[in-house]
Structure 1
Amino acid sequence: MKWHLLAVGQRLPDWAEAAYEDYAKRFPPEARVHLRTVKAEPRSSGKPVEALMAAERQRLEAALPKGARLVVLDERGDRCTTAALAQRLRQWQLDGIDVAFVIGGPDGLDPALRDAAHWRLRLSDMTLPHALARVLLIEQLYRAWSLNTGHPYHRE
């Protein structure tokens, strides 16, 4: 099983890039998170928001690994503790299916992509900038992985 993170937006602030890379390099080679970014549709184009999100959806769908379980980050998604995420990841690992976590663009995800998801995950009840959401997701994946491997990173 491989983990993939697909995100709209290619350029992160330096602080977010450094934080993301810090967590990404902590995973062992067999548990790496594979990051793929897609270009955000220019907001200055004058197109309606729906058209912008649809264009981003097409790019994300093209980048999705074939047959992967689709998990979208969505403010209306399910709340989840780290322990519950670890349990879910453990079950998915037993299923042997790749998992793709998707972070949308500035306006969120196109409803068709949200509706196609196997799971909608909410990282917080608060609004997060996309750079911070990417860092928070990789940190929680690392924490869940470490919990599943018995590493003392997670404390209850």
Structure 2
Amino acid sequence: MRIKLLAFGKMGRGPEYTLFQEYISRLPWKVDVQEFEIKKPAATPDLRKKEEAEKLLAAIPDGSAVIVLDERGKDYSSRSLAEKIDSIHLQGFNQLTFIIGGADGLDETVRKKANLLLSLGKNTWPHMLLRVMLAEQIYRIWSIGAGHPYHRD
């Protein structure tokens, strides 16, 4: 399995980066992170979301299942999410592309591209912390599938 993470903003080398790297380094799956910035963002949130959507959609690899993190998405238990990812894999997808939008949220064109709209809960999280949480859940998904003792029911 290959994982691609598309996100706005640069993570830097702080504690979030260290923790993010800790989780993805444990995975046998290849993880590629592509970060975006827009130097002169558009004046309104709707125009910014459209501008960001163009970059995100252009970066999705052909044949990849798209999982969009969205507050309106489905909130899964870890085991249910692992089963959903396994189901996506069984449909013939060997790559998953996770998308985290910018501060204004996501344009509807990105949501429509999704194979799965995923919520990591009802709370609003800082983007860099969300990346850590996603990396942990991806590692947990792998551990559930592999029968690794990291995840305990």
Give the TM-score taking structure 1 as reference length: 0.90
Letter in 2 for 1:96: G
What is the distance in 1 between the residues matched to 2:39 and 2:107?
12
CA RMSD of superposed structures (Å): 1.6
What is the distance in 1 between the residues matched to 2:38 and 2:76?
28
Partner of 1:34: 32
* Superposition deviation, residue 40 in structure 1: 4.1
2:138 to 130, 141, 153: 141
1:40-79 aligned within 5 A: 40=38, 42=40, 47-79=43-75
What is the distance in 1 between the residues matched to 2:13 and 2:128?
7
| Identity rate, percent | 37
Dislocated runs of 4+, deviation >6 Å: none
Aligned residues: 152
1:1-156 aligned within 5 A: 1-12=1-12, 14-28=14-28, 31-40=29-38, 42=40, 47-97=43-93, 98-156=95-153
* Superposition deviation, residue 107 in structure 1: 0.8
Contact 1:53 1:107 in 2 (8 A): yes
Contact 1:78 1:122 in 2 (8 A): yes
Q: Give unpaired runs (5+ residues) of structure 1.
A: none
* Superposition deviation, residue 50 in structure 1: 0.8
What is the distance in 2 between the residues matched to 1:53 and 1:13?
26
What is the distance in 2 between the residues matched to 1:82 and 1:141?
9
Give the TM-score taking structure 2 as reference length: 0.92
What is the distance in 1 between the residues matched to 2:84 and 2:92?
12
